[in-house]
Amino acid sequence: MPLPAFTLDAADGPRAFPTGRPALLCFVKEDCPTSGLSMPLIEEAHRAFGDAVDVLIVGQDAAGNAVLVERHGLTAPVLDDSALHVSYAYDLDTVPTVILTDPAGEERTRFVGFGRDDWWHLMASLAEASGLRAPAVDWDAYPESRPGCGSKSVEPGIAERLEAEASGSPLRARRIEIAAQDDEFEFMFDQGLTDGLPVVPPTPQRVLRMLRGTRRDAQEVVAVVPPNMAPATIEKIAINAVMAGCRPEYLPVVIAAVEAVCTDTFNAHGVMATTMGAAPVLVVNGPVRHRIGMNMGLGVLGQGNRANATIGRALMLVLRNVGGAKPGGTERSTFGAPTKYTMAFAEWEERSPWTPLHVERGFRAEQSVVTAFGMTGGPHQIVDQTSRTARALAGSIAAGLDSAWHPKAHRFGDVLLVVGPEHLDTLTHDGYLTKEHLRSRVQEVTARPFADLISDDESGGGAPAPASPNAEQLARLVPKFEAPERINIVVAGADAGKWSAFFAGWTTGPGGTIPTSRVIEE
């Protein structure tokens, strides 16, 4: 049977095989010493028999091919198989592999590695068949034999990709085989692929099932994940979503979350590396909340809901397993935080007359959106069961928010305030019809004279004392937050319970983190 046909690019344009003449296919790679040993003989064969035989050098690396041409002064055409599809189709294990074919492309001779006798017989047979003179080779200058090198097409990760491409499978990730007696859950722990809790083994069947949750191409790179700056494909995100326990319909939310945090504005490297113990907190808005069954009511910030728990966990596993953010490595949190396992929830838009978070951030109400916050603490609960007016309750909420980071730490970062439904009713029934009313009251109540915010012998944690402050500077009122929009507000939680909660953010701005939103492509 003829060998697989192919067309590859060479310096002078595309070259096709079969050629309609006898051909000598020479598979090589530049970093293989045995390939280098064979190159002068390949060039001699081309110079001596090129009028009768097509000598085709098939190189496995584009940059390496150029090096071979320059190093050996090649005039034989060098074909670019850096995609390795031809090497895979020819089932190569080793380079160099030399194959002589007839005009129809049927194999006549093959040898692997370097054999002096193999080359001597090949030159003699080419001379006899073509009637051309064999080149004068100093055979004594060559060793009797040398083993070849592994073909790039069988390297770990590449072989699996080529197999998947050949079979039409969307999977390209390297497959890890474990022994029959190994416990697959313990294996995942041993490989450092977990967050400290068991993960679901990402078998090909599970990953393929997860990929059905999106129409996007499995090999699309959607983000570059810090700190390793590793590309995150849809497939890699799906693998970690399987490990986290997601259902396929959650995958679009996880993808959007990865896109959001892997931006310069969010600064995932800083969020994960700071000793303050920051972590992404995800808020989901729009129709997707109901389609995938996210919790926005009872126990919204706790356990018990699969979508909430596994979406946040999948994001954290991507940061860990793709980006390399692991405790003891680049992640240097002094205490850590439960949010480093997972924290994702939905805003209860229907319960609130206030503008939903995603609409405040410029999206349409009917769009599904995930917003990522880099938060260092929480949730902290604010308890007020006695206030009956909006002004009093907002004052209580402001007093709770004043404790974020440190009571003397003003104008520091963002906060994510989760207003409970009972508190919401008190606020809205008494005239706080927008989130702006609450923000304004918080800034009013938390404003402190600058003199009270200076670190002193009684209490640190605040601003350094000016060199020579004047009375006007010391009396100036400084609100807790740099601007009202730093107070991010959502409504969630059960109908019963006069509580609200908040997450304190890491430092904001170019050197810190900025809340970032992405549309969820369903």
DSSP 82-118: TT-HHHHHTT--EESEEEEE-TTSBEEEEEESEEHHH
DSSP state of 408: T
Cβ proximity of 471 and 449 under 8 Å: no
311-338: pLDDT as tens digits? 999 999 999 999 999 999 999 999 999 9
Tell me the C-alpha distance between 303 and 105, whole Å. 64
**Beta bridge partners of residue 416, listed in sequence order:** 488, 503
Task: Give the right CATH number for 6-155 from 3.10.129.10, 3.40.640.10, 3.40.30.10, 3.40.50.300.
Answer: 3.40.30.10
The pTM (predicted TM-score) of the whole model is 0.75
Closest CA relative to residue 301, chosen from 423, 427, 198, 417:
417
226-284: pLDDT as tens digits? 999 999 999 999 999 999 999 999 999 999 999 999 999 999 999 999 999 999 999 99
pLDDT score of 500 more than 80: yes
DSSP state of 510: T
Cβ proximity of 218 and 234 under 8 Å: yes
Ranges of each domain in the chain: 6-155, 185-453+473-519
Place 377 in a pLDDT band, splitting at 50, 70 and 90: confident
Helix (H) / strand (E) element for 488: namely strand 487-491
pLDDT score of 386 more than 80: yes
Q: What does the block give as tokens for 182?
A: 């190994």
Q: How far is CA 205 from CA 201, 218, 242, 245, 380, in A?
A: 10, 14, 10, 14, 41
**Cα 276 versus chain centre, distance:** 23
At 281 the three-state DSSP class reads strand
- Over the Cα atoms of the chain, what is R_g? 33
- Most confidently modeled of 325-334, 387-396, 461-470? 387-396
Q: What does the block give as tokens for 338?
A: 């439960």
Average pLDDT, the chain: 95
Over residues 74-92, mean pLDDT: 96
141-198: pLDDT as tens digits? 999 999 999 999 999 878 877 887 887 788 888 888 888 889 999 999 999 999 999 9
